Amino acid sequence: MKVFWNSFITGPILGVFWALIVATAVAVLLSFVTGAAFRPGLTGCLILGALAGLAALEIRAGWMLVAGLSALAVALSYTGISPIHVSGDAGPGAHLMAGIGFALALGWPMSVILHGCPRGPLTRHEWEEAVIRFLTGFGYIFFTAAVAIPFYVMVMTSLKTQGELIANPLDFTIDLSRGWELFRSYEELFRNFNFGSYLWTSFYISILTVLITLAFSIPGAYAVARLRFKGQKALSRSILLIYMVPMIVLALPIYIAFSMTGLRNSIAGIVMIYPVTTIPVALYMLQGYFRGLPAEVEEAGLMDGLSRLQVIWKITLPLSLPALASVSLYVFMIAWNEFLLAFMLLDDPSKFTLTRGIASLNSSEIPRQHLMAGAVIATVPVMALFLGLEKFMTRGLTAGSVKG
Amino acid sequence: MTTAIPPKGTGPLARREARLAWGLLFPTLASVMLVVILPLLAIFWISFKPVDLADLRAAAPMVREDLRDADEAAPYIRYRIRNSSQTDPISDIVLSDTIPEGVELLEVPEGCVLEAQALTCRFDLLDPGGRLTLELPVAVPGDIEAAEIAIETDQPAISGAAENVLTSGEFTLENFAELFDAREFWTVIGATLFYTVFGTFGALIVGLFAALLLNKEFRGQGVLRGLYLFPYVAPVIAVAFSWIILFDPFSGSVNALLIQMGVTDDAINFFGERPLALVMVTVFEIWRYFPLSFLFILARMQSIDTDMYEAADVDGASPFQKFRYLSLPMLMGILSVLFLLRFIWTFNKFDDIFLLTGGNAGTRTLTVNVYEQAFALSNIGAGAAVAVVILICLLCFSWFFFRFMSKEEGL
């Protein structure tokens, strides 16, 4: 390891790795944004990466590094040893974009990564900090790309036409001149595929699930958290055990029972089943919160002549509104996203939930921009709720351990 | 002088409190009983039964009624009774009908009783697929058309007792024998193990890495945290289909990208080739669930006291040493809890694989196999047998879980 504790060795090595990462990222980004063909080149990355790693030790000003690298990268992009190869028919604009984009993403982070590294031998601290900064940078690029690309592709695909999709699967530019025509898939889904009704069904089933879940789990959670009775400990533990039963195992007998009683294919059946899948989670999250509330306030209420139920209604619930909000949000999300039971129990298109409706779009006759438009319609409401109430969400998720 | 003795046993107040507690818990317990415990027992029952999907519709008698020869001299009411099942006989059939006003039965056949206008007929047995026709001559003094309409709009009621496989005393070990005999079973177990082990470790390690990234204050930290939670929050159906389209062998962007970059010459069928498909569904599982572990690990990291790190700084510990000797031991508790939970949930996962590959190309795990046997092959009994295998595995895991986890973190 000690061999590497020298900035003249570590600098170029990190530079080469960083150049490879950045060249790939920039090439993918430019391909997606412009639709033209870009690809990373190994030789160019080796040369410019090593150079940047050495130069960053000499030139501490990031902008000078970027400027120098830009000139080199643009010049090299016309040769065979370019860090990012640009297809032959592309104009100078594409070369400039690739060159400057690459230089910017290589030069500036390299000067940050090697910040504080002297020339020559490094101490263990300096070396590890440089490596950590390199890994951090890589992490940001990696995670952001991994998370964003599927969602980006989902949205962009839904805005395209069949012809465009087949012509170039890499081209995610949007032809803005089409105006409202861009949203044709959405319009068709609502007009011909009954998505308005699916949306409404999903919405009210989710709301009903939240209400029923709360109505069942609030008293239960209060009893487990506050009241003393035999079996309290065992009960609060075995709630967790219900998490451990796979849904598909329950779905099979439920399917049989519903087929025999005629509840299959009915909204009532779905509304009966969904809350039971969420009650244990809600109960577990709520009892954790109730335990944290001061018992003295409730005792004061009892002394003043309130009954237990009145205490719950007038004291405990108003105090636990934040917890109720996060539990409701979480339960809403589970019910909205639920797929398996809806898929098995609903066959009649007039009663589909949104997820079941999207599953029915998955056939070779239906163009895939419709499928993606359906996916966007299902995703946007949860995302909006989630981003708006993210604080509640993360707190609720970490409050009780939660089912995935 | 008497000494105060602490009361023994439960007093009336404690009893009232316990009663209230059970009352408050009753709705939850009842619903869990009905939807979790009962189905679990049912699964064991069904797994020993030779049940097909078709058997769910029990044999039932069907009846049609009409007035024949209405314009001729001797009109008659005809009941046609049929056994809907081709395999099971029906016994103790009871047909009951109301003869409309203005219609007079001339003759009541054997087995039938007429009380005022109510006709009741009983038959002992109807063979599988068997039919039975009953003809009752009538006299219609009044308007014959009105009588015909009255007779044909009023539906007769019919009932019968048929043996249902689900409730009969017939048991078999066939389901389990077939399950363990099939060579495929061991590939299913293999796929399940691969998916569970790598999916769990992957999600934990990737989540740990993500938590390390975000465990510092900087602008945009909140935005990134929100973004990294997206895969977990979005509906599984939406993200699964996005992945399918992204990795499509014919028009997927990833293949186009790989070909353009010269990594491969031919398109790769990511979700259709063994063993790549199994790796891909595992990667999907990691992608979708790393946010959960990341969130828990981050919450734990932020609660670690910073004094410790300052002390380590004074002692000259390097960044990697601080991670290895300070952070990691502090995180061990939450990591082991997450490992056990994620292990079981990954083992239980069904929708992800079902949507991505449908269980083809070597990705059929135990849970997918339940669906495959019960619905695709319409052998409910075999599906239940797989479910029983799953439950036995889970029992082992839970034993493990309660044994080791309760010590680790106060769950």
Among the partner-chain residues A170, A340, A355, the one whose CB lies closest to the CB of B253 is A170
The pairing of strands A38-40 and B90-98 is unpaired
Identify the helix (H) or strand (E) that includes residue A379. Answer: helix A368-388
Q: How far A236 CA sits from the closest chain B CA (Å)?
A: 10
* B286 in A contact zone (CB under 8 Å): no
Domain segments of chain B: what residues?
A: 60-162, 174-408
Cβ pair B158, B81 in contact under 8 A? yes
Count of other CB atoms within 10 angstroms of residue A65: 22
**Interface contact B42-A308, CB threshold 8 A:** no
Residue B20 identity (one-letter amino acid): L
The pairing of strands B157-162 and B104-105 is unpaired
Q: Which two tokens stand for residue A168?
A: 């170039």
Interface test with A, best of B37, B196, B209, B242 (most A CBs within 10 A): B242
**pLDDT, tens only, B137-186:** 887 777 777 777 777 777 788 777 776 666 777 777 888 888 888 888 88
Among the listed residues B284, B198, B203, the one whose alpha carbon sits nearest the alpha carbon of residue B242: B284
* B296 in A contact zone (CB under 8 Å): yes
Q: Which two tokens stand for residue B213?
A: 């990234």
Specify the domain boundaries for CATH 1.10.3720.10 within chain A. Answer: 187-399
**What is the Rg, in whole angstroms, of the alpha carbon atoms belonging to chain A?**
29
Tokens 């001559």 correspond to: B137
Q: What is the pLDDT along chain A (404 residues), one digit of tens a residue?
A: 677 888 888 888 898 999 999 998 988 888 888 877 888 888 888 888 888 888 888 877 778 888 888 888 888 878 878 888 887 777 788 888 888 888 888 888 888 888 878 888 888 888 888 899 999 999 999 999 999 999 998 988 888 887 777 777 777 777 777 777 778 888 888 888 888 999 999 999 999 999 999 999 999 999 988 888 888 888 877 777 787 888 889 888 998 888 888 888 889 999 989 998 889 888 888 888 888 888 888 889 989 988 888 999 988 898 888 888 888 988 999 999 999 999 989 888 888 999 999 998 888 788 888 899 999 999 999 988 888 877 766 666 665 544 33
Q: Do domains B60-162 and B174-408 have the same CATH topology?
A: no
Among the listed residues A211, A399, A208, the one whose alpha carbon sits nearest the alpha carbon of residue A322: A399
The pairing of strands B104-105 and B61-68 is unpaired
**Interface contact B35-A273, CB threshold 8 A:** yes
Q: How far apart are CA B309 and CA B327, in angstroms?
A: 9
- Average pLDDT (B17-24) is 88
Q: How far apart are CA B70 and CA B66, in angstroms?
A: 10
Decide: helix, strand or coil at residue B67. strand
Q: How far apart are CA B390 and CA B403, in angstroms?
A: 20
The hierarchical CATH code for the domain A187-399 is: 1.10.3720.10
**3-class secondary structure for B380-392?**
HHHHHHHHHHHHH
Tokens 């890589």 correspond to: A138
Torsions phi, psi for A161 (to 5 deg)? -105, 165
Q: How far B253 CA sits from the closest chain A CA (Å)?
A: 5
Q: How far apart are CA A209 and CA A270, in angstroms?
A: 9
Q: Which two tokens stand for residue A331?
A: 């339960």
**Interface contact B226-A387, CB threshold 8 A:** yes
Q: What letter would DSSP give residue B87?
A: S
Cβ pair A104, A70 in contact under 8 A? yes
Residues with Cβ within 8 Å of residue A6, at least 6 apart in sequence: A120, A121, A122
**Interface contact B341-A359, CB threshold 8 A:** no
Cβ pair A85, A40 in contact under 8 A? yes
Cβ pair A366, A202 in contact under 8 A? no
What is the b/e burial string over B333-371, where b = at least 16 CB atoms within 10 angstroms of the residue's CB? bbbbbbbbbbbbbbbbbbbbbbbbbebebbbbbbbbbbb
Instruction: Given CATH 3.30.420.40, say whether it is the number of domain B60-162.
Output: no
Residue A399 identity (one-letter amino acid): A
The residue of chain B nearest to residue A138, with distances taken between CA atoms, is B213
Among the listed residues B245, B226, B356, B236, the one whose alpha carbon sits nearest the alpha carbon of residue A147: B226
Q: Please state whether the peptide bond connecting residue B27 to the residue before it is cis, i.e. omega within 30 degrees of 0.
A: no
**Interface contact A401-B260, CB threshold 8 A:** no
Pick one of 3.40.30.10, 1.10.3720.10, 1.10.1200.10, 3.40.50.11540 as the CATH number of B174-408: 1.10.3720.10
Q: How far A139 CA sits from the closest chain B CA (Å)?
A: 7
Name the residue with higher pLDDT: B206 or B397.
Answer: B206
